[in-house]
Amino acid sequence: MPAIQRLIARAYPELPGYTAGVVRGQLNNFPEGQFVATFNSKMVGYCASMRISGAIALKPHDWDEITGKGFGSRHDPTGNWLYGYEMCVDPKQRGLRIGQRLYDARKALAERLDLSGIVFGGRMPGYSRVRRKVEGPEDYLKKVVEGKLRDPVIGFQLSNGYEPIGVLKNYLPEDKKSLGNAAHMVWRNPYVDETSAPEFRVPRDVESVRLATCQLQARAVADFDEFVRNVEYFVDVAADYRSDFIVFPELFTLPLLSFETRKLSPAEAIDALTAYTPRIEKELARMALEYNINIIGGSHPTRTDDGDIQNVAYVALRDGSTHAQEKIHPTPNERYWWNIKGGDAIDVIQTDCGPIGVLICYDSEFPELARRLVDQGARIIFVPFCTDSRQGYLRVRYCSQARAIENQCFMVLSGNVGNLPNVDNMDIQYAQSCILTPCDFPFARDGIAAEATENVETLTISDVNLADLTWARAEGTVRNLNDRRFDLYHIEWDAGHGHGGNIPTSPPTSGSHGAGGG
């Protein structure tokens, strides 16, 4: 992904670049449709595409609308056209026919999938120079096709078998050379009769993942080793059931304060917990490898490298990697008692079962966060929570059910039960951990794959079929993701935040981009 970002910055220095989150979404939403070209071990070409229906691709649109702000999140596995929304070649390597090779790879994909053809909005960089000599972008395009004017991009596309069917106005406002216009280009698959193109259906495959949620009892422990043994017990049981994931509750490490010899102030408690952070990460990583399971380590209050106090979920994967996801929205209670500050980045985590997301408790009550994770390709979102009352629990539960429906994804909740009398914030706990699904025919009747008994320490396990999500998003009774009105609204993240950082060679961006078109 950083190589793609650097390539975009080199090829289109006058346009805003991609964020890491946008590139991650492109790759996750339709892996088959993304191609890279390398030369001497260096990335020199990249193109992005998705499937979409002709009813959308062949009518007027703009880049943000049709691509879901660049994430490729409007990919439709039943779409009969391949839509190209990025084509980028290193300017120092343009004598190697890299663009032609990438176009050929796209055509081969369209032919293999029996699609009607390829559509995209192509840049018109020569238009700004001659705009006073022509009667608008349509006249400019007509003269280029007739050979009366020269445009390097349109000429290249014509030479590769594409034909214009019109002009897309205000397609990409950032493209000053094209004055925001794009040539609406089409390549028709010669092996498919467009008048009787095949009707695509999503195969009802089985892509099974076994999920385990641990409803953990907060209990006093004698030392760090006893705490680890308590956690490892449930990891062991979940692994015996061949679970792919196990998730622990928010603040599941607070029992480490129970064996302090005196009552600590909030600042002292944070410092004590921070001292355990390296050991917690190490133990979670060890268990993930030894038990061959992906572990979402609830959350752990700690002082991070920047000096802020954060509530962090440490995720240990069975491939040996570890990841951290900060809580974005601390509750008023957390801010007051613990001085916890919100994080500023949220992204999917790549696992052997596909990309996942983590929303810590209160974060599940902000729909923008789940939508961002799903745009990046997440199909499972884990929600470690810690609530002291039924009302608090139901806020997390109802909001998570809404996230499952509106994003057509699985939500996995894990909460604490019991109490720690001498530890602030752990006086009483209420939880009913559960695994929630969308509400449609392939899923559980009430949108609940499994749930625990209230306030009892237990492990709840369920199999879910990720392929059901693919079907629901393309052919379900309602199709919340595909039916979004990108022509009316979208989520805009502040520059430099929420995407894992930008590469040094490009300026901070908000994710709005369409560098190459096509």
Please list the active-site residues.
250, 327, 361
Which single residue is written with the structure tokens 């040996």? 320
DSSP assigned state of 110: H
Q: What are the residues whose beta carbons fall under 8 Å from the beta carbon of 442, sequence distance 6 or more?
A: 204, 465, 468, 471, 472
> Do the Cβ atoms of 316 and 280 come closer than 8 Å?
no
CB burial readout 290-325, b (16+ within 10 A) else e:
ebebbbbbbbbbbbeeeeebbbbbbbbbbeeebbbb
Rg for the chain (alpha carbons), in Å? 25
CA–CA separation, 461 and 442 (whole Å) = 18
DSSP assigned state of 452: P
What sign does the CA torsion over 72, 74, 75, 79 have?
Answer: negative
Q: How far is CA 37 from the centre of its chain?
A: 24
Residue type, 299: S
Which residues on adjacent β-strands are paired with residue 350? 355
C-alpha to C-alpha distances, 454 to 210, 222, 243, 480, nearest whole angstrom: 22, 27, 22, 31
Tell which residue, 257, 162, 42, 248, has the closest CA to residue 517.
162
Both tokens assigned to 464: 């879910």
CA–CA separation, 135 and 121 (whole Å) = 20
